[in-house]
């Protein structure tokens, strides 16, 4: 606080005021040059593909644990008549955590989002044979703020099965994050995020994209993690969707992403204190 004028100063707005639980912003770790290059590509094209960055063992564990939860197909054409979805994944299993808090993804997001960005949605998606293409969209659309504008979020879609030309690979419109209002023009360039299993496509919340149609006879299994700026409302309410015991047993990175963190000076506080105190009091 500026004592003379009584105005909040910028220093105060950015200060980590918490005494006990310091900020865990900057949880990513990767080679700086690699991260610079990926962030530049993301800012230029609106998306980037990170190839083969989780292990076969992690993929297998996720597949085994998510499958019992994929019991329902969609309720509308956005969710997809032949697409199984499960929401609130961090409240059901731990096996998506290596994707949600992947160090390379975190490091790239640290370059394009404010410190202490949050997880906004964690969803399992299984596109079944015969599914048609999902309506294209950009994920930030529900934050009603006119385009062109900066992104307020970003998302990963992880290929648990390899994404191919014809099994429903995510379609992405390069450069569309810079577009103004309205749907993509008919002649807009579109690419398919064809990638090996264990890879993800990372795109900005303003980038137009959609799930592809599955013309094969096998499902296309994926996991998507969406992130938002630390001052935005998250799509999923993790305080209700993730049992406290499951939060307590997670590392600091996951706790922060699930909302047990503060965007300085005080967004996220509980009774004027850091929300992590609520993990201690019982
Ligand atoms: O499944 C995909 O490839 C994309 C899914 C998507 O964009 C969504 O459900 O919002």
Ligand 1 atom 4, closest CA: 211
In a domain, 2, yes or no: no
Question: What mean pLDDT is predicted for residues 7-19?
Answer: 65
Q: Is the pLDDT of residue 281 over 70?
A: no
- Taking the C-alpha atoms of residue 128 and residue 125, their distance in angstroms, rounded to an integer, is 10
Q: 230 and 267 in contact (C-beta within 8 Å)?
A: yes
Percentage above 90 pLDDT, the chain: 86
Per-residue confidence band for 29, with pLDDT thresholds at 50, 70 and 90? confident
CATH number, domain of 209, equals 2.60.120.620
Q: Is the pLDDT of residue 1 over 50?
A: no
Ligand 1 atom with least separation from CA of 171: 3
- Taking the C-alpha atoms of residue 140 and residue 138, their distance in angstroms, rounded to an integer, is 6
**Which residues have CB under 8 Å from 167's CB, separation 6+?**
127, 161, 212, 214, 215, 216, 218, 220
**Which residues have CB under 8 Å from 206's CB, separation 6+?**
46, 138, 140, 147, 148, 149, 150, 151, 176, 177, 178, 179
Residue among 124, 170, 201 whose CB has most ligand 1 atoms within 8 A, to mutate: 170
Per-residue pLDDT at 221: 98
- Give ligand 1 pocket residues (Cβ under 6 A): 125, 134, 157, 170, 209-211, 222
In a domain, 12, yes or no: no
Pairwise pLDDT comparison (11 vs 187), residue with the higher score = 187
Residue among 81, 212, 224, 225 whose CB has most ligand 1 atoms within 8 A, to mutate: 224
Ligand 1 atom 2, closest CA: 211
Ligand 1 atom 7, closest CA: 210
Domain that holds residue 187: 25-276
Ligand 1 atom with least separation from CA of 170: 3
Residue among 46, 79, 156, 211 whose CB has most ligand 1 atoms within 8 A, to mutate: 211
Per-residue pLDDT at 147: 96
In a domain, 10, yes or no: no
In a domain, 71, yes or no: yes
In a domain, 161, yes or no: yes
Q: Which residues face 256 on adjacent strands?
A: none
Ligand 1 atom 1, closest CA: 211
Per-residue confidence band for 6, with pLDDT thresholds at 50, 70 and 90? low
pLDDT digits (tens, 9 = 90+) for 192-202: 999 999 999 99
Q: Which of 144, 143, 109 is nearest to 233 (CA)?
A: 143
Number of domains in the chain: 1
In a domain, 208, yes or no: yes
Q: Is the pLDDT of residue 58 over 50?
A: yes
In a domain, 4, yes or no: no
- Taking the C-alpha atoms of residue 163 and residue 220, their distance in angstroms, rounded to an integer, is 7
User: What does each C-alpha distance from 149 to 111, 141, 203 come to in angstroms?
Assistant: 17, 11, 15
In a domain, 257, yes or no: yes
């Amino acid at each position: 606080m500026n004592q003379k004028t009584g105005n909040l100063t910028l220093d105060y707005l950015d200060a980590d005021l918490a005494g006990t639980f310091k900020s865990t912003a900057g949880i990513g770790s990767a080679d700086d040059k690699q991260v610079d290059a990926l962030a530049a590509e993301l800012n230029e094209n609106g998306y980037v593909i990170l190839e083969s960055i989780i292990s076969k063992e992690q993929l297998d564990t996720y597949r085994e644990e998510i499958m019992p939860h994929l019991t329902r197909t969609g309720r509308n054409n956005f969710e997809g008549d032949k697409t199984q979805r499960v929401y609130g994944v961090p409240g059901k299993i731990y096996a998506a955590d290596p994707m949600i808090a992947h160090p390379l993804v975190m490091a790239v997001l640290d370059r394009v989002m404010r410190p202490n960005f949050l997880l906004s949605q964690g969803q399992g998606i299984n596109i079944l044979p015969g599914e048609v293409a999902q309506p294209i969209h950009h994920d930030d659309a529900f934050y009603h703020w006119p385009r062109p504008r900066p992104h307020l979020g970003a998302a990963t879609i992880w290929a648990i099965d390899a994404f191919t030309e014809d099994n429903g690979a995510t379609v992405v419109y390069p450069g569309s994050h810079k577009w103004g209002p309205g749907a993509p023009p008919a002649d807009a360039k579109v690419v398919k995020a064809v990638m090996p299993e264990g890879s993800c496509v990372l795109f900005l919340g303003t980038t137009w994209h959609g799930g592809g149609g599955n013309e094969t006879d096998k499902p296309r299994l994926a996991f998507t993690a969406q992130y938002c700026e630390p001052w935005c409302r998250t799509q999923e309410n993790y305080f209700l969707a993730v049992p406290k015991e499951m939060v307590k047993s997670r590392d600091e990175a996951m706790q922060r992403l699930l909302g047990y963190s503060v965007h300085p000076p005080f967004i996220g506080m509980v009774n004027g204190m850091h929300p992590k105190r609520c993990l201690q009091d019982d």
